[in-house]
Amino acid sequence: MPYRPPHLPRRNARQWLLLLLLICLGSGGATAGDKLRLQLRWLHQFQFAGYYMALEKGYYRDAGLDVEILEGGPQALKPVDAILSERSDFAISNSGVVIERMAGKPVVALAAIMQTSPIVWIVRADSGIRTPADLVGKRLMLMPAPESAELLITLRREGIDMGQLNIQPTSFDPQDLIDGRTDAYDGYISNETYWLAQRGVDYRLINPREYGVNFYNDVLVTSERLLRERPQRVAAFVQASLKGWQYALDHQEESLQLIHRRYAPGKSLEHLRFEADALRKLIMSDLVQLGHMNPGRWDAIANSYVQLGMAPGPVNLGGFLYSEHVEQDNRMFYLGGAIALLVILLMATVALRFAALSRALQREINRRQDTEQQLLTSNATLERLANTDRLTGLWNRLKFEEVAQQEVGRAERYGYPLSLVFFDIDHFKEINDRHGHEIGDQVLCRLADRVREHLRDSDSLCRWGGEEFLILMPHTDRQQARQLAEKLRELISASPLLEQQPISASFGIAQLQSGELLRDLVRHADTALYRAKQLGRNRVET
């Protein structure tokens, strides 16, 4: 909504002067004072690079702030308790902080650094675990709620009751996964995966995002008390922190060297680079303004928790987002400015000041309208990203499941055949190990383009995960699907997807049977694909 300056009632000059004096005396600036403490949620690493750079580059000091950064760890997994008990002034939390807000705790979300979360289940590649359903009866390491909220909501969305699981308190040591003391380890896609790869351990990820759980992470929070009593200091801290984040992303290597030297000497530079590259994809600063939070998305996150019994309803997030407080402060700011201008006009009758203020207000209106349009564009981009695989441009797992569920319903209703083709690239790990992940990504993109060219408009192609792809084929029986799969298999083998190295793929096919659900169809196709692998690869099995 465009900004409109408030209507100002007429009063006599003495009243205006008195009110202006009270406003000036009552306003607090971002001047140096007592130390502000920021509680991190984990040990020093690139995950908190923006705050380190804001401190090291003097952005906090320039804003009149004396900031201390407190290292986190297992003892710092309750950031809301830290700020409400005044052990810290600011803290880093995840999307589970909205659960605390709905439980009545006076916490305010200031900025979301990661637009999507790095939290995943990590399982061994030889465990046979591929989907959340495979976790039933298994041992799962888990951080306490709300830190584990995204993983728990993924399980509940898949219809898995907590009583079907063997929950273990996390040990914070992925060696337990290697040694077989747990079946699924809760970790970061930017951290533990590097540690496992360096030890030659093949792993598989169960990513909540692929099951429709796409939440914010690393959310900067504070208390309502601090925001109410020191709004200028909070504003200065947020602005300096985001400036630090922008510097860290623009000068990644410099930031890595500093973090390694001063904060995390025990973590190798290679590990920090891996973490930085992974987190850049989650921060999405090239697509979305740093720290941006969409109120509608927060409502959707909160509703997800309520629907699954993890938070009380109904959802009412009034006062939870920092932007609401800023808008209120802005109204007071503009009101105070308008009052001061009226005093000047009454005393000096300087009409030119009115013209200057009008131009300034118009510029502010234009700036806000431009910002609003940018946010609308960013939200549209986020919606597209939520439905497509960022690497290949194909539908992702979430969008595919939505379309496939509808197609299964139509096939059952009208009685036409529906087949599913499940295929993946043979020995894809060897391609990555020999040529690097960049070449591996190119192979995936080229394969996606070739396959897409040979499908009908009615067919649906998605990247299921890693090197795995699915094709949903309505009005197609098993034999017809097999003919297409054979054609695609020959096409892939004959295509120059990788110079001087042949590429092959294995295919599994299943046809929907009466009374079956989508997950049954996927399971049958996956079983056929596994059989094709066992029988030598580069073949089609039904």
Question: What would the mean pLDDT of 313-330 be, rounded to a whole number?
Answer: 75
Residue 149's pLDDT band, with cuts at 50, 70 and 90, is: confident
Extract the tokens encoding 376: 């609308």
> How high is the pLDDT of residue 278?
94
Domain 119-211 has CATH 3.40.190.10: yes
pLDDT at residue 432 greater than cutoff 80: yes
SS3 516: coil
Question: What would the mean pLDDT of 459-480 be, rounded to a whole number?
Answer: 95
Residue 240 near residue 63, CB atoms below 8 Å: yes
Q: How far apart are CA 210 and CA 212, in angstroms?
A: 6
Using alpha carbons only, give the angle 286, 245, 322 rounded to the nearest 5 degrees.
Answer: 90
Long-range contacts made by residues 400-405, C-beta under 8 angstroms, separation at least 24?
400/460, 400/462, 400/464, 400/470, 400/472, 401/212, 401/518, 403/460, 403/472, 404/460, 404/472, 404/518, 405/518
Pinpoint the residues of the chain covered by CATH 3.30.70.270.
Answer: 397-541
pLDDT at residue 4 greater than cutoff 90: no
Tallying the residues shown for the chain, one arrives at 542
Q: Among the listed ranges 71-85, 155-169, 249-263, 414-428, which one has the minimum average pLDDT value?
A: 71-85
Of all residues in the chain, what percent carry a pLDDT higher than 70? 86
Q: Among the listed ranges 13-27, 79-93, 356-370, 493-507, which one has the minimum average pLDDT value?
A: 13-27
pLDDT at residue 448 greater than cutoff 70: yes
Residue 488's pLDDT band, with cuts at 50, 70 and 90, is: very high
Question: What would the mean pLDDT of 22-49 be, rounded to a whole number?
Answer: 72
> How high is the pLDDT of residue 314?
82
Q: How far apart are CA 80 and CA 78, in angstroms?
A: 6
> Model-level pTM?
0.62
SS3 124: strand
CATH class of 13-111+219-322: alpha beta
Domain covering 397-541 in this structure, CATH number:
3.30.70.270
pLDDT per residue over 244-262, tens digit each? 999 999 999 999 999 999 9
Question: What would the mean pLDDT of 101-128 be, rounded to a whole number?
Answer: 94
**Which residue type does 228 have?**
R
Question: What would the mean pLDDT of 476-502 be, rounded to a whole number?
Answer: 91
178: CB partners within 8 A, 6+ apart: 124, 196, 199, 201
Residue carrying the six token digits 């997800």: 304
Alpha carbon separation from 481 to 471, 508, 526 (Å, rounded): 9, 10, 15
Bridge partner list, 203:
124
For residues 531 and 7, the model is more confident at 531
pLDDT per residue over 265-287, tens digit each? 999 999 999 999 999 999 999 88
Q: How far apart are CA 428 and CA 426, in angstroms?
A: 5
Residue 274 near residue 198, CB atoms below 8 Å: no
pLDDT per residue over 40-90, tens digit each? 988 999 999 999 999 999 999 999 999 999 999 887 778 888 999 999 999
pLDDT at residue 403 greater than cutoff 50: yes
Q: How far apart are CA 280 and CA 531, in angstroms?
A: 38
Extract the tokens encoding 95: 């999307």
> How high is the pLDDT of residue 253?
96
Q: How far apart are CA 475 and CA 256, in angstroms?
A: 54
pLDDT per residue over 128-143, tens digit each? 999 999 999 999 999 8
Pinpoint the residues of the chain covered by CATH 3.40.190.10.
Answer: 13-111+219-322, 119-211
> How high is the pLDDT of residue 378?
64
SS3 289: coil
* Mean pLDDT over the full length of the chain: 87
Extract the tokens encoding 282: 């989650």
Question: What would the mean pLDDT of 210-234 be, rounded to a whole number?
Answer: 93
Residue 28's pLDDT band, with cuts at 50, 70 and 90, is: very low
